[in-house]
């Protein structure tokens, strides 16, 4: 699907999905008709989105007196989805675990040089594009060890390309910013970023996940491992997991958070 069509699809459905999720959180369980009335979303659209969210494992349905009512799945099930993904891709011998033909679109690389190249690969998304990201807490800690010059250069390139990063981090990752000097914090200020903070239990791993242009790049700092996936089916699964994670996270103005940290540290 073309980028513009993909963006329209995301923008068209995202708000309605969130409204449905939030309404089910507030009211417990509802019939589609009641859900349509409370959300203001058309009944036909509600039915479509309920099936989509059901396939993602975010909601469930129960039969009550001859009809079905819908409700939110508990967070444990969402935790399991994410932990299963992590366990699959971070096995000790990932090359043996992935029993796929060579043309499936999965490439495994090792070494620090390939880690640095992986972040630059994001530029392939193109100008004015959106990149989706999940940063594990351990990965955020390891990323602090990257050279300051490299961090500055890659963030400047993101700004130059006007790439919007829509990302999920953990509470611990957010607290890591407090340990940085004003000079290092300035590398991260004024970025085109939409930030969400997830419970630490969901992102307590050493993995950066970058999702863009029908591609997924996974980076593990501890093992110096880069996994590049150019497979539409795997891309769709991981993108759905990103959406699931975002729905149980809180939104944050990361630029404002960093700005206030810089002001506070500079005044000391």
| pLDDT for the residue 2 | 38
Do 91 and 48 fall within a single domain? no
Do 185 and 87 fall within a single domain? yes
Report the predicted TM-score, pTM, of the whole model to 2 decimal places. Answer: 0.63
Do 20 and 152 fall within a single domain? no
CATH number of the domain encompassing residue 16: 1.10.10.10
Do 152 and 196 fall within a single domain? yes
Q: Max alpha carbon distance in the chain (Å)?
A: 66
Do 98 and 118 fall within a single domain? yes
Do 64 and 145 fall within a single domain? no
Do 7 and 67 fall within a single domain? yes
Total domains in the chain come to 2
Domain span at residue 155? 76-266
Per residue of the chain (268 residues), what is the pLDDT tens digit?
333 333 323 323 467 887 888 788 778 889 999 999 999 999 988 898 888 888 777 788 888 877 888 887 765 555 555 555 555 445 444 444 444 445 567 788 888 788 888 888 888 888 999 999 999 888 877 766 666 767 788 888 889 999 999 999 999 999 888 888 888 888 888 899 999 999 998 888 888 999 998 899 998 887 888 888 888 888 888 898 898 888 889 999 999 999 999 999 888 7
Do 248 and 151 fall within a single domain? yes
Do 228 and 170 fall within a single domain? yes
Q: CA 264, CA 257: separation in Å to the nearest integer?
A: 11
Do 62 and 80 fall within a single domain? no
Rounded to 10 degrees, the C-alpha dihedral 128/132/133/134 comes to: 160
Do 56 and 104 fall within a single domain? no
Strand partners, 197: 169, 250
Q: CA 252, CA 17: separation in Å to the nearest integer?
A: 19
Do 160 and 208 fall within a single domain? yes
Which tens digit of pLDDT belongs to each residue from 160-216? Answer: 999 999 999 999 999 888 888 888 888 888 899 999 999 998 888 888 999 998 899
As given in the structure block, the two tokens for residue 192 are: 């085109």
Among 28, 52, 73, give the residue marking a domain's end: 73
């Amino acid at each position: 699907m073309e980028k513009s069509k993909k963006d329209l699809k995301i923008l068209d459905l995202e708000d309605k999905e969130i409204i449905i999720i939030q309404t089910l959180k507030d009211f417990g369980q509802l019939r589609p008709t009641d859900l349509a009335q409370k959300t203001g979303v058309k009944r036909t659209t509600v039915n479509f989105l309920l099936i989509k969210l059901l396939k993602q494992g975010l909601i469930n349905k129960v039969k009550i007196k001859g009809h079905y009512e819908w409700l939110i799945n508990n967070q444990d099930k969402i935790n399991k989805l994410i932990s299963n993904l992590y366990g699959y891709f971070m096995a000790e011998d990932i090359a043996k675990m992935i029993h796929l033909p060579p043309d499936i679109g999965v490439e495994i690389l090792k070494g620090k040089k390939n880690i640095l190249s992986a972040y630059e690969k994001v530029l392939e998304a193109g100008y004015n594009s959106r990149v989706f990201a999940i940063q594990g807490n351990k990965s955020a800690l390891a990323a602090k060890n990257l050279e300051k010059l490299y961090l500055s250069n890659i963030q400047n390139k993101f700004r130059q390309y006007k790439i919007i990063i829509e990302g999920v981090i953990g509470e611990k990752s957010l607290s890591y910013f407090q340990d940085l000097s004003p000079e290092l914090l300035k590398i991260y200020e004024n970025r085109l970023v939409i930030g969400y903070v997830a419970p630490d239990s969901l992102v307590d791993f050493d993995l950066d996940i970058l999702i863009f242009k029908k591609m997924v790049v996974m980076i593990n700092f501890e093992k110096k491992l880069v996994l590049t996936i150019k497979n539409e089916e795997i891309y769709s699964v991981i993108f759905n997991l990103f959406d699931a994670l975002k729905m149980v996270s809180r939104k944050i103005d990361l630029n404002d958070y960093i700005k206030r940290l810089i002001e506070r540290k500079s005044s000391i």
